Amino acid sequence: MTQSGIYSRYGKNMETNADGNVVMTVKDVCKKLKCSQTMVYNMIGSGKLPAFRLGCRKGIRVNSREVDRIMAELIDDDALEE
């Protein structure tokens, strides 16, 4: 499902869950965070970035709110270092 506001903020063909939140693929998360897939999988594995599996073929999905939270944490960490 695509919505006009979602298209501009998160990219093309984003899915939404039952609550209306945008769910992102690992690849989409990599683009947004500007990092590697390995880093995203490490964050998921360590529990820092909550994720869920969507069926067998669709793979892992991450709620966009969690990605925004991680981005805010990274920005705060950078501000503290300066």
Residue 31 lies in a domain: yes
Q: Which domain holds residue 43?
A: 24-81
Structure tokens at 69: 């939270």
Report helix, strand or coil for 6: helix
pLDDT value at residue 49: 95
Residue 15 lies in a domain: no
Say whether pLDDT at 66 is over 80.
yes
Count up the domains in the chain and report the number. 1
Q: In sequence order, what are the residues at sequence separation of 6 or more whose Cβ sits closer than 8 angstroms to the Cβ of residue 37?
A: 26, 27, 30
**Residue pair 13/2 in contact by the 8 Å Cβ criterion:** yes
Say whether pLDDT at 65 is over 90.
yes
Question: What pLDDT digit, counting tens, does each position of 29-61 carry?
Answer: 999 999 999 999 999 999 999 999 988 877 899
pTM: 0.71
Tell me how far apart the alpha carbons of residues 62 and 65 are, in angstroms, rounded to a whole number: 8
Question: What pLDDT digit, counting tens, does each position of 20-29 carry?
Answer: 678 999 999 9
**Residue pair 62/54 in contact by the 8 Å Cβ criterion:** no
Residue 16 lies in a domain: no
